[in-house]
Chains A and B, each alone.
Chain A
């Protein structure tokens, strides 16, 4: 009897379909009070869908949800909230011009509401669990991890006993992650039930008491963390044994290919997003770029690709064919290509920038080549052959070369994009977050493709977010913080914590040195 009471939330045989896509099939899950449960699964395995059903955003096709042993129907986020279920989404939902307290009390329906008392209560909540946050700061002045703290305090203050965190560590540095984990442990000890969605194995092992694994929408099983290790969890997640090693060869015949000197760039709001950036990308080498998201990675790559207006600096390209040096600064993509610079770019936003979602693979291949030739009409034969070659070589799963690419899975979309960019036989290949949202197998396909390009003598620039991967894959790693280079380190000898420190090194800190 007591055991049953201990279960805060239970899902039984939950099924949810979108069209012919089965997002969840007969999923069972339970979390006890005073427990941290990890929900582990690759991207697309149905973790977020399941959580969205618990928090009232979707309604399950079949199955039932129990809270405190009673069957409930959660039809809207309000229902979920009434049941004391609080969700912290991956993308924060805060009002930028409000301060912390105002955001937290937003939408409260208490008649005797008083902002002074509320501030006091919120501060008490913070102290109780050890949140370090200045509640009077406006949200636009907060860092990503502080915004996340506000979100967590918000759901706790509103009385949530069951907390769901969707990929909370994706945007944090190692130091911030350990802080977050401390807070979560305190909340667990206070009797809260916590569900944390993630696909990072080391975090699962560190924080959770039990792990439930989903694979392709199906429930694989739950094990106690104490009985698990990375190998067991990977097998549950992927369904087969795989090796997680990246073969890193020594760079051969490295020469300077792209020399960036003192780049300055302001965004449309007049904020300096790139501040005196200098580095060299060498042929036959992978240069990693690490940093908290939004530290200038996107602007830097776009500046090199000719998509950002720069206010200062130079981008010198050493052309291996003509032995000439060209300055690419403030040139359009077309002008850069006309100079004979073979620069390929895999942007962060695949379907919004790199590809056209409503077009098939063939038409997407044409993006790079349609202008060839003098005819006013399109030549579809070559792109079609290229499309079929990429489908075959990279094992893209698609009905045919004309299916709109937005209907393909994330991994296949990325294979199409990377395949096209590599097909142009580049001398410089830039890739921004190329494995974001990809399953493990696809991720390793991409790592291998990048390594292959490096071995062909391409200067590869790789912007990544997983520090373990950066350290395993890259020859050198450049760290960005607030639009500045805070360090360029050797990939073979650096530790994750060192990168974490560089990532959070502030401007003033640097100036003081």
Chain B
């Protein structure tokens, strides 16, 4: 009998798709996920770092909002991540897997740095800014356009192509630094005298304003313009696009021009607006993080403000924690990972539910 029982035991649970949730239900699930993440993180903090989790969380908030300076840095990091996210969004909405934003931003920055270095003392500042802007946008477009044209003409794999373009960009920057930095140190001294203007003595304000305007433009473009509509159709189904007579190749190329141009602007803001110098790590992985920001926000530029905030907040907090408690940054990375895991993972529970078997009880 017992043998028979074990043989006929039903599965413990199975997964079924659920109806679309109400907004408060979805909010509830998300709050629960964050609470669960904080709880699990607390256990990790106590076990691995032997610290008081509450202190730990306080340090995270402190790292993000602790002083006026920190808030400015948070805002600056937020808008830069947001800017790159805005750049990748049109391409991803079209299901063009552009993982080359890192390189597209970097060549934009390189173009800016080149103009600053060689023409800085030869032009008036307004003219210099115009040239910088054009150069960085053009560079970003070229970097995005090569994979797009190959995709349109020969149906190459854009994921590999854009990824490899990243390495070319990084090596170009390395070459630039080695060849043109006169000291031979490979580190370019910041060129503070050339660059974008500073508004009201607040160094990051211009970036914030430009990205805010870009956010609104991208939102309107995607939602209300005919071209944005074409992007949605191509992304949803290429067959439908052909059926109604959309020139798919043209849309791919056009969209990647837009994507690349915004990446170029991001490079301009990073090099011309903030750093005034360039290194191979200027973009700092934003090209990849931006993909997550964009997907988490389901390609809505306004929601991307929230998702970039979440990620930048965790990053800044983690930095503070590791310096304040003098613990390896890997522990704060673990905490960031846990929190992101729960926030992304809860999307599953918004779409599916787990049903525990009734048979099991009956059999027992």
Q: Among the listed B10, B16, B239, B247, which residue makes an inter-chain contact with A18, where contact means beta carbons less than 8 Å apart? A: B16
Given A75-B11, A356-B232, check contact A376 B225 (CB 8 Å): yes
Most interface-central of B14, B237, B244 (chain A CB within 10 A) = B244
Residue-wise interface mask of A (48-85) relative to B, using a CB-CB cutoff of 8 A (1 in contact, 0 not):
00000000000101100000000111010000000000
For chain A residues 99-153, which have a beta carbon within 8 Å of chain B?
none
A333 nearest in chain B by CB position:
B245
Q: Would you give the shortest CB distance from B299 to chain A, in whole angstroms?
A: 12
Chain B positions within 8 Å of A337 at CB level: 245
The number of residues on chain B lying at the interface, defined by a beta carbon within 8 Å of a beta carbon of chain A, is 28
CB distance from A74 to the nearest CB of B (A): 10
CB pair B10 A73 closer than 8 Å? yes
Interface stretch (choices A32-40, A273-281, A282-290, A347-355): A347-355
A353 and B240 form a contact (CB under 8 A): yes
Tell me which of A314-322, A365-373, A436-444 binds B.
Answer: A365-373
Closest chain-B Cβ to A110's Cβ sits at a distance in Å of: 23
Q: Which of A72, A347, A352, A377 contacts B225 (CB 8 A)?
A: A377
**Complex partner residue of B233 from A18, A75, A351, A367, CB under 8 angstroms:** A367
Q: Could you tell me the distance between the alpha carbons of A382 and B131 in the complex, rounded to whole angstroms?
A: 44
Alpha-carbon distance between A333 and B240 when the two chains are bound, in angstroms? 12
| CB neighbours of B240 from chain A (8 A) | 352-356, 367
Inter-chain contacts of B70 with A (CB < 8 A): none
* B226 part of interface (Cβ distance < 8 Å): yes
Q: Does A237 contact B (CB under 8 A)?
A: no
Minimum CB–CB distance from B25 to chain A (whole Å) comes to: 14
Report how far A73 CA is from B242 CA in the complex, Å. Answer: 47
Asked whether A356 lies within 8 Å of B226 as measured between CB atoms, the reply is no
Contact of A19 among B16, B226, B358, B359 (CB under 8 A): B16
Q: Which residue of B lies closest to A72 (CB)?
A: B8
B243 at the interface (CB under 8 A from A): yes
**Nearest CB of chain B from residue A246's CB, rounded to whole Å:** 28
Report whether A18 and B17 are in contact in the complex, using a CB–CB cutoff of 8 Å.
yes
* A72 and B236 alpha carbons, distance in the complex (Å): 43
Whether B239 lies near A17 (C-beta < 8 A) is: no
Return A81 CB to nearest CB of chain B, in Å.
Answer: 15
* Known contacts A59-B11, A72-B8, A352-B237: A307-B224 contact under CB 8 Å: no
Cβ-based interface call for B167 (8 A) = no
Q: Is the CB of B16 within 8 A of A17?
A: yes
Query: Are A353 and B239 neighbours in the complex by a CB distance under 8 Å?
Result: yes
Partner of A356 from the list B8, B14, B233 (CB cut-off 8 Å) is B233
Any A CB within 8 A of the CB of B227: yes
CB-CB contacts below 8 Å: A321-345 with B: 332-334, 337, 345
| Chain B nearest CB, measured from A300 CB (Å) | 15
Contact status A356-B237, CB under 8 Å: yes
Of A73, A345, A359, most B-chain CB atoms within 10 Å? A73
Complex Cα gap A19–B232 (Å): 27
**Which chain A residues numbered 422 to 440 have a C-beta less than 8 Å away from chain B?**
none
Evaluate contact between A368 and B244: CB separation under 8 angstroms: yes
Structural contact, A377 and B245, CB atoms closer than 8 A: no
Contacts of A334 in B (CB 8 A): 245
A367 CB contacts on chain B under 8 angstroms = 233, 240, 244
Residues in chain A near residue B192, CB distance under 8 A: none
Complex interface: chain B residues within 8 A of A376 (CB)? 225-227
A interface list, Cβ under 8 A from B: 17-20, 59, 61-62, 71-73, 75, 305-307, 332-334, 337, 345, 347, 349, 351-359, 363, 366-368, 370-371, 375-378
| Additional pairs, 20, CB under 8 Å, beyond known A62-B358, A371-B226 | A59-B10, A59-B11, A59-B14, A73-B10, A75-B10, A75-B11, A332-B247, A352-B237, A354-B243, A355-B240, A356-B232, A356-B240, A357-B236, A363-B229, A367-B233, A370-B226, A377-B225, A378-B225, A378-B226, A378-B229
Query: Which 5 pairs from chain A and chain B are nearest by CB?
Result: A333-B245, A334-B245, A353-B239, A19-B19, A356-B236
